[in-house]
């Protein structure tokens, strides 16, 4: 999605855990569990509702390039993933993209195709919400 705001503004908003529940629909809570600013080694804990189930996930930021890229890896749980978000200049705005590699286990393994499909649809909805919020400010 292209957001009509500068990269630095988009990156700063995205990397503030207090904003996560504002733009991610299934997210019920998100908090930084390590001290200091967000960067490599920071760990966060998210609580989502997925298929009627409460799902808690802890993840660690493994790559952090200010105003460019954030990569993180989840640990534990029935659904693990490595995700990367990138921020690139696009005209006067920001091209915001994501790439995820999911590993589905437990009861969710039986619904793997649906889980991945729903995640993709949810990210499209969430990206549109992020764009709406940032462009309104």
- The residue assigned the tokens 């091209």 is 95
In contact, 32 and 42? CB cutoff 8 Å: yes
Residue 46 β-bridge partners:
30, 57
Nearest Cα residue to 72 out of 91, 99, 90: 99
Question: What was the pLDDT predicted at 107?
Answer: 67
d(CA 106, CA 126): 26
pLDDT at 108: 66
CA 94 to chain centre: 16
pLDDT in tens, the chain (137 residues): 999 999 999 999 999 999 999 999 989 999 999 998 999 999 999 998 876 778 888 999 999 999 999 999 998 777 788 999 999 999 999 999 999 887 777 766 666 777 778 778 888 999 999 999 999 98
Predicted local distance difference test score (pLDDT) of residue 120: 83
Pick left, alpha or beta for residue 44 (phi over 0 → left; psi -120 to 50 → alpha; otherwise beta): beta
């Amino acid at each position: 999605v292209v957001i009509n705001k500068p990269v630095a503004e988009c990156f700063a908003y995205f990397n503030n855990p207090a904003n996560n529940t504002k733009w991610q629909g299934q997210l019920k809570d998100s908090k930084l569990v390590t001290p200091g600013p967000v960067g490599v080694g920071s760990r966060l804990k998210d609580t989502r509702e997925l298929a009627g189930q409460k799902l808690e996930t802890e993840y660690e930021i493994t790559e952090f390039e200010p105003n460019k890229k954030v990569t993180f890896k989840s640990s534990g749980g029935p659904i693990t993933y490595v995700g990367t978000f990138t921020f690139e200049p696009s005209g006067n705005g920001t091209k915001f993209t994501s790439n995820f590699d999911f590993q589905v286990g437990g009861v969710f393994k039986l619904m793997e195709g649906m889980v991945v499909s729903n995640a993709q649809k949810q990210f499209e909805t969430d990206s549109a919400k992020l764009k709406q919020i940032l462009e309104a400010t």
